[in-house]
Structures are given as structure tokens and as C-alpha cells.
Amino acid sequence: MTSITLVQGDITRQHADALVNAANSSLLGGGGVDGAIHRRGGPAIPAECRALCASRYGKGLPTGQAVATTAGDLDARWVIHTVGPVWSPTEDRSDLLASCYRESLRVAGELGARTVAFPAISTGVYRWPMRDAARIALEAVGSSPAAVEEVRFVLFDTSAYEAFARQLDDR
Ligand code: AR6
């Protein structure tokens, strides 16, 4: 059984077997969590991302999928990159957001990661409303069959932390 914990903070300061990155399909870095992970993780991460793009993901990593690289200088063994969906007011993309969590945990399980830290995927640049994103994230993690001991959500600010805490209480 996976235990779910919530902390407020910067995911790049966390120690865990795997840190999940809210990437984009190019895997070449960006703003938000992605920018922070690439900055603090150092050049080994983009080097491996470039190699993955050249070999397996010529058209980019599809939305909802996940792939692992080294964690470089971060206090973790792996970074698992996943691409969240951009929020749409007209199209239900919740399955893709749930898939980011499920696929990241599947990859983590395959690697043998026991502790996995997630940011609130898609809730920044991709504009997903926090409360709905928290519900989807907690449901997806709660129903994942992956053999991971701890999933830690690392929420950047108080309102994100409170949104996740409320959803966790309601479960
Ligand atoms: N630690 C934890 N959470 C963070 C951190 C951090 N260091 N920095 C931001 N957040 P975002 P997305 C929160 O934009 O919405 C990038 O440019 C942030 O407050 O990082 O999935 C990529 O390259 C928000 O709640 O990811 C993509 O192009 C959450 O993390 C695009 O943004 C996610 O915000 C992905 O957008």
C-alpha cells in the first residue's frame, strides 16, 4: 500500500528516489518546475533528454506519458519526466492528467523507486484549476498498482497545499 504525504516547498530541495518533472514534450526544459529541475540538476539531465529525443522520442514525448533520466546533481536517483495536458475549458482532458501520475508511477515501479515526489502537474503554465487537479492526482495515485512505498506531493504555495489537503481529507 502506498502512503501519500503532502509537503509545501520546492521539489528540487527534496530527497526521494525519484522526482517527477512537469515537462513539455520537447524534454528540453522550460519554466516552472521544469526550469528549476534543469537548473539545479545540471547538464547531465538535458544531455540524457537530448539522447532520448534522438533515439525514442523524435516527435517528442506524448502527453500523458513518462520517461526517466538521471537526476544529475539533485538529491534523487532519477527524474521522471512527464508531459501534462494544457487545461481546456471545452475538452475533458482529465484522463491525460491521470495518465501522467499512473505512467510516472509505473516507470518508478519498474526502476525500483520506493519514494516518489510529484509537483502538481499542469497547474502552472498549463493552467489546470488546482482543486480539480488535486482530485485527479490523488485518485490516480490512490488507484495505482505500482509498488511504491511513499508518494509525496510537493506543493509550491499555501493555496496548492490546502487544495490537496482538502481533497485528501475528503477521500
Ligand atoms: N517545486 C514545486 N512546485 C513548483 C516549483 C518547484 N520548484 N515551481 C513551480 N511549481 P509548471 P505545468 C508549481 O508551470 O503547468 C514548463 O515551462 C507551480 O506553482 O511548472 O505542468 C514546462 O516546460 C504549479 O502549481 O508546470 C512546460 O512547458 C505546478 O508546480 C510547462 O511549463 C506546475 O507548474 C508545464 O506546465
* Residue-wise pLDDT tens digits, 40-85: 999 999 999 999 999 999 999 999 999 999 999 999 999 999 999 9
Retrieve residue 46's grid coordinates: 538535458
Can you tell me the distance from the alpha carbon of 132 to that of 140, in angstroms, rounded to the nearest whole number?
Answer: 12
63 lines ligand 1 (CB under 6 A): no
Nearest-CA residue for atom 23 of ligand 1 = 30
91 — pLDDT class (breaks 50, 70, 90): very high
12 lines ligand 1 (CB under 6 A): yes
23 lines ligand 1 (CB under 6 A): yes
Nearest-CA residue for atom 27 of ligand 1 = 24
Cα(121) to centroid(ligand 1), Å: 7
Cα(31) to centroid(ligand 1), Å: 7
Strand partners, 23: 83
Helix (H) or strand (E) holding 155: strand 150-155
171 — pLDDT class (breaks 50, 70, 90): confident
Above 0.85 for ipTM, yes or no?
A: yes
Average pLDDT, the chain: 97
Which residue, among 142, 140, 137, has the nearest Cα to 154 in the 3D structure? 137
Ligand 1, closest atom to CA 154?
Answer: 2
pLDDT at residue 170, rounded to an integer: 85
123 lines ligand 1 (CB under 6 A): yes
Which residue, among 162, 169, 126, 166, has the nearest Cα to 7 in the 3D structure? 162
Substitution candidate for ligand 1 out of 28, 39, 125 with most atoms within 8 A of CB: 125
pLDDT at residue 1, rounded to an integer: 80
Cα(84) to centroid(ligand 1), Å: 10
Q: What are phi and psi of 48, to 5 degrees?
A: -70, -35
Question: Model's pTM, two decimal places?
Answer: 0.98
Please state, as a whole number, how many other Cβ atoms lie within 10 Å of the Cβ of residue 32. Answer: 17
What letter represents residue 103's amino acid? E
Please state, as a whole number, how many other Cβ atoms lie within 10 Å of the Cβ of residue 115. Answer: 20
